[in-house]
Amino acid sequence: MTADTSIWSSLRDPTYLRLWLALVVSGCCVSAHEMAATWAMNSLGVPTVWLSLMSSAGTLPFFLFTLPAGALADLADRRRLLRIFNCWLAGSAGLLAVCSFLGGLTPEIILAGVFLLGIGFAFQAPVASASIPEIVGKEQLPSAIALGGIQMNLAGIIGPAIGGFLVPLVGVSSVFAMNALAFVLVLFAVMTWKRKERSARHTTGKLFRFACRCSPIHAVRTGCSNRSTAKFHLWCANRSDPSVCYQWLG
């Protein structure tokens, strides 16, 4: 297997290497944070319905904000958006840490913290997904996608174990604080990315043509051609898989 087709080939890019390592650490800390938050909620002696509400509070933002976040990822500077959203995530985790250190952790505060983190992830995920092709390029994109899956699996395996080890040892406050610091680490990795400026007008035109060539959208386009329909085509292009759009756009 050559270097260009190796699953690790995208790590030869220093920017992606720093970002991937930061995301591995952050992903593990997020999983540990989730375990610590569940343990903290259970330790408060609340009814079991509160534990199920934690899952709802974490996933509801994806239902509410994923679509506008995908559109935002194509309208604004992705590097700047990643900085903003990681600051949001660090602040949300830090808020829980401060409340826990001060002894003011309540079920409502825990749910609010989980919801705030969910908002940050709902906006960050589409932006991060669309940013990877810009960082590594088309040749290394398959490697980067595979490594993204490895990063998620590592976080799901190692993170809860770290949380289970640290919670009885240092408490939930330290785990929350560790998660906040991990987001700051990702923020520093994002700041090392020197993004190349691209013409928004040029890209928008290509996205429109890409949308019109998609079969499901073409069927809609043949039925109506007003201004609102054109916006619908662009929205569908925004929601397409970033790697597919990137390869088509060249």
Q: Which CATH number does the domain housing residue 175 bear?
A: 1.20.1250.20
**Residue 233 in contact with residue 217, Cβ under 8 Å?**
yes
User: Domain range holding 243?
Assistant: 200-249
Query: Over its length of 250 residues, how does the chain's per-residue pLDDT go in tens digits?
Result: 444 568 888 898 899 999 999 999 999 999 999 999 999 999 998 898 999 999 999 999 999 998 999 899 888 899 999 999 999 999 999 999 999 999 989 999 999 999 999 999 999 999 998 899 888 888 888 999 999 999 999 999 999 999 999 999 999 999 999 999 999 999 999 998 887 655 444 444 444 444 445 444 443 333 433 333 333 333 343 444 444 444 444 4
Q: For residue 51, what are its two tokens? A: 């534990």
Query: Are 239 and 155 found together in one domain?
Result: no
Same domain, 186 and 144: yes
* CB within 8 Å of 83: residues ≥ 6 apart: 187, 190, 191
Q: In this structure, are 47 and 96 located in the same domain?
A: yes
Contact assessment for residue 237 and residue 210, using Cβ atoms and an 8 Å cutoff: yes
Question: Which phi and psi (to 5°) does residue 47 adopt?
Answer: -60, 155
CA neighbor of 139 nearest in space, from 67, 30, 247, 55 = 247
Asked if residue 208 and residue 181 are part of one domain, the reply reads no
Q: Examine the domain organization and report whether 131 and 157 are in the same domain.
A: yes
Please state the domain count of the chain: 2
Residue 241's SS3 state is: coil
Q: Which of 150, 172, 191 is the last residue of a domain?
A: 191
Q: Can you tell me whether residue 240 is helix, strand or coil?
A: coil
Q: Do 183 and 232 sit in the same domain of this protein?
A: no
Answer yes or no: do 114 and 48 share one domain. Answer: yes
Rounded Cα distance between 18 and 65, Å, is 28
Which of 191, 215, 233 is a domain's end point? 191
Residues 75 and 154 in one domain: yes
